Amino acid sequence: MTKSNGSVVVPVERIENAILFIRGQKVMLDADLAKLYGVSTKVFNQAFTRGKDRFPPDFAFQLTDQEFRSLRSQFVTSNRRGGRRYRPYVFTEQGVAMLSSVLRSKRAVRVNIEIMRAFVRLRRLLASNEELARKLAALERKYDAQFKVVFDAIRELMAPPTPKRRRIGFLVSEAAAKYGH
């Protein structure tokens, strides 16, 4: 994100790296959003709590204890001084859009615009990968159906021959001698 003078306020990579996948949704943590908006997590969550009625569960939700433990283990966060003592809130793309009605600073508006753009880029990237995977699967199905006979013939040619060989050595027709007991 750039200011009018061209300097970067929030690097795009920083926003994209803050987008997580939880409960099948792309979300951002309250602490990451607070950093992007330039406020403390406490101040951010106070503003969120004041306008909480604007955030249905598909816009924002609090992580479960298990999700929080899993997240902490992924990021190896501290349990000691300065560590987070409560479960964080996460915000979906719609929740981030709604934050602009709760956080009214000019920076919050500019950051929100960049976050929305990052979500759109991510959605386009995922859609293009899904489209590519569908096309590849279709080609494989088409390819396999048309060339099945060729593949079967090639497999037969590649299979090692199984000639009938005579065993090397003496062939004895009597029972083997028992040694020992």
Domain segments of the chain as ranges:
12-134
DSSP 54: G
pTM confidence score:
0.61
Q: Mind listing the pLDDT tens digit for each residue in 10-46?
A: 777 888 888 888 998 889 999 999 998 888 999 899 9
Mean pLDDT for 60-72 is: 89
Residue 58's CB: how many other CB atoms inside 10 A? 10
* CA distance linking residue 98 with residue 175, whole number of Å: 90
> With bands split at pLDDT 50, 70 and 90, how would you rate the model's confidence at 63?
very high
For the CA atoms of 118, 120, 121, 127, the dihedral, rounded to the nearest 10 degrees, stands at 150
What does the alpha-carbon distance between residue 49 and residue 33 come to, in Å, rounded to a whole number?
Answer: 15
Burial class (CB in 10 A: 0-12, 13-18, 19+), 134: exposed
**Residue corresponding to tokens 């494989």:** 140
163 or 2, greater pLDDT? 163
What's 12-134's CATH class?
alpha beta
Q: Is the CB of residue 108 less than 8 Å from the CB of residue 58?
A: no
CA triple 40-43-47, angle to 5 deg: 140
Output the six-digit token pair for 137: 């699967």
Q: Which residues pair with 92 in a beta bridge?
A: 27
More confident residue, 7 or 148: 148
- Answer with the residue of higher pLDDT: 96 or 131: 96
Portion of the chain with pLDDT greater than 90, in percent: 17
